[in-house]
Every structure is written in structure tokens, then in C-alpha cells.
Amino acid sequence: MTSIPRRGLLAGAATAFACALALTAWPAHADTAWPDKPVRLVVPYTPGGATDIVSRLVAQKLAEDTKWSFIVDNRAGGNGNIGIDVVAKAKPDGYTIGMGQTANLAINPTLFPKMPYDALKDVVPVSVVAAQPVVLVVRADSPYRSLADFVAAAKARPGEIKQALAGTGTLGHMAGEVLAKRVGFKVLNVPYKGAAPAITDLLGGQTDCMFATPQGALSMVKAGKLRALAVTSAKRLPVMPDIPTVAETYKGFEAVDWKAVVVPAGTPSEIVKKLNAAIDKALAKPATIAQLQAEGSMPVGGSPEQAAQYVRAEHARWGAAVREAGVQPE
């Protein structure tokens, strides 16, 4: 009879035990280890803008809660397309995430004849983190003191009122197009390369009105340089409680620039769920809510399934709006 040395028997047993342990522990490790290094958060716009502010706030709150590390990577250009394309083409391992929003996930796919990514297939929504309306503003010396005044003038002088645009296909542009079509008036759109020059010319009298972000408008309104006529959210903004909604005059009207965390298609569902749970926890904190509201946004949250359903619906809605308005890229 052949005998096995005791030392060899112990070594074999130890190896078998280690293999068995590795096999049983691996699925749990794959779920709980992420992230074990910094996560890159791609922001498809320049620093200091509305999307960047929300992105950095979310990253900060997540880091405080979870001790995860985030690196914000601003990839501006292409009306937000360049940054989302970076995410779409990244390795789906949870270490590259992005902040998608209304333009690059819902408006651009119809606005641009060639897209570098498929907004509904190449990225997966994790959570809609916030929604922000635009504000219809005019100069403080404008004869328009209400939305009704503005609409009456636009109907009386079709195509004469000059509307400044932060860019073609922006939410401010499309909100104006949808309102004009619904109410039955026409303005002359004047596109700019960003919100800052658009507001500068509005203040200088080169244009007459603009659908601006709350961040861009609020300080000017408080300073008495601009007058806010209406906001495009379903409810009034806490930061601008005296400004009526468009929906108070035209029932059901809503146009918001939502921000949604997305990951490359193929990212493990365990990572998506873990990230979603952390985002929901961060969004529920009073400090987060207060900070979002202070810059004119409203926290949203919800499951990945709810986020995907919302993005699909917005993709269809704004795609139809672009086609109906006949908007063409610059």
C-alpha cells in the first residue's frame, strides 16, 4: 500500500480548503469590494455650470457617506455629447460613471443627424439625481411684467421679439419652442455660445428675453437687473417662491433639465444597485436637499428601473419636440 506523507496530506488539504474558500467567497467579494480605487465622474460640461455644480455636490455627498473617492473629469463639447461618449466607450467596471442630462440623452439624439453613441443602449441610467427648470427673464425696464404680457406681445408682433439662447438645442431653447407651439406665438431666436454672452446681450438690449437657468438669472433678478416672469417647473421653486410657474397659466406645462448618473452598458447590476442605493441615501439628507434647492434644483432619486423609464420617456418627448419645431444644429 502506498502511503502519503503527513506533510503532503496537510499541504493538499490546505490547498483544497483555500480553493473552496476562494470559490465560495468570490461572488460576495465582487459585490462588496467595489469601489477599491477612485471612481471617475465624467461631467460633459465646463466647470462652474449647472451640471458641474450638481455633479460635484453629488460626488461630495457620496464621499462623505461612503468614504469612496471620486475624480471629477470635465469633458465639455458637442452640446454634452463628448463627455457621454467617453462614458459609453469606457470599460464597464464601475470606475467610470457620468452625469447625463436632458440635452445629451433626450434632445441631441434627434437634433444631431450623427451621434457617437446610442443614448438608450450604450449607457445605463443609475439614478435621476435632480431636475432644474429654466426661468423666463426680461430686462428690469421691459414693458413685460408678466407671462401674459409677454405672450400678448409675441402674438401681436410675430417674430419680432428676440429671444437669446445659451445654445441651439439647450433646454432653454426647447422650452421656448414648446411654449410657442402650444400657445401660438413666434419669436426670433438668437443663439449664443453659452449662457454668459446671452445674458450679457440681454442686459445690453440686443435681445428681449431668455429662458435662463436659475443660477444664471437669480443674482441678476435680486440685483434688479432682470425681471423673472415664470419658471418651467411643475411647482414654484423654493429659491424663487414669488415667481409663478408657466403651468399656472398653461396647465400641465413642464420643462426641466434633469441630471442622471449613467454607467457604460454592461456594468454589473450589483454595482448599479450599490451606487443607486448610495445616491438615494445622499439625496434624502436635509443638507443635500437644501443645497440643491439653493441653486434652483429639486432632488429626484428612485430606482435604476425608474430612472431608465424616465429617460426613455424624455427621449421620446424631446425628440418629438425637436422634430415638430424643425430645430437644426448650429
For 211-232, the pLDDT digits (tens) are 999 988 999 999 999 999 999 9
Q: Which residue has the higher pLDDT, 255 or 193?
A: 255
Q: What is the predicted pLDDT for the residue at 329?
A: 84
Half-sphere exposure of 60 (CA within 13 A, CB side): 11
Alpha carbons 67 and 64: distance in angstroms, whole number: 6
pLDDT at 56: 97
What mean pLDDT comes out for the span 160-178?
95
Instruction: Read off the amino acid at residue 254.
Output: E
Architecture of domain 135-248: 3-Layer(aba) Sandwich (3.40)
Calculate mean pLDDT across residues 131-158: 97
- Which residue in 234, 229, 230, 240 sits closest to 253, CA to CA? 234
User: What percentage of the chain reaches a pLDDT higher than 70?
Assistant: 90
Question: Is residue 146 over pLDDT 70?
Answer: yes
Q: What is the arithmetic mean of pLDDT over 144-150?
A: 97
Q: How many CB atoms lie within 10 A of CB 87?
A: 29
The model's pLDDT over 281-327, given as tens digits with 9 standing for 90+, comes to: 999 999 999 999 999 999 999 999 999 999 999 999 999 999 999 98
Residue 25 C-alpha cell reads as 467567497
Under the banding of pLDDT at 50, 70 and 90, the label for residue 105 is very high
pLDDT of 32: 61
- Average pLDDT over every residue of 231-252: 96
- Mean pLDDT across the chain: 91
Say whether 135-248 and 39-131+257-325 share the same fold: yes
Domain ranges across the chain = 39-131+257-325, 135-248
Q: Is the dihedral of CA 138, 130, 258, 71 positive or negative?
A: positive
CB within 8 Å of 111: residues ≥ 6 apart:
79, 168, 169, 322, 327, 328, 329
Distance CA 231, CA 112 (A): 27
Hey, what's the cell of 125? Answer: 441610467
**pLDDT in the model for residue 328:** 86
Grade residue 330 by pLDDT with cuts at 50, 70 and 90: confident
The pLDDT of residue 151 is 98
Query: What is the model's pTM?
Result: 0.86
Tell me, rounded to whole angstroms, the distance of Cα 139 from its chain centroid.
28
For residues 7 and 213, the model is more confident at 213
Q: What pLDDT does residue 71 have? A: 98
pLDDT tens string 57-102: 999 999 999 999 999 999 999 999 999 999 999 999 999 999 999 9
User: Which fold does the domain 39-131+257-325 belong to in CATH?
Assistant: D-Maltodextrin-Binding Protein; domain 2 (3.40.190)
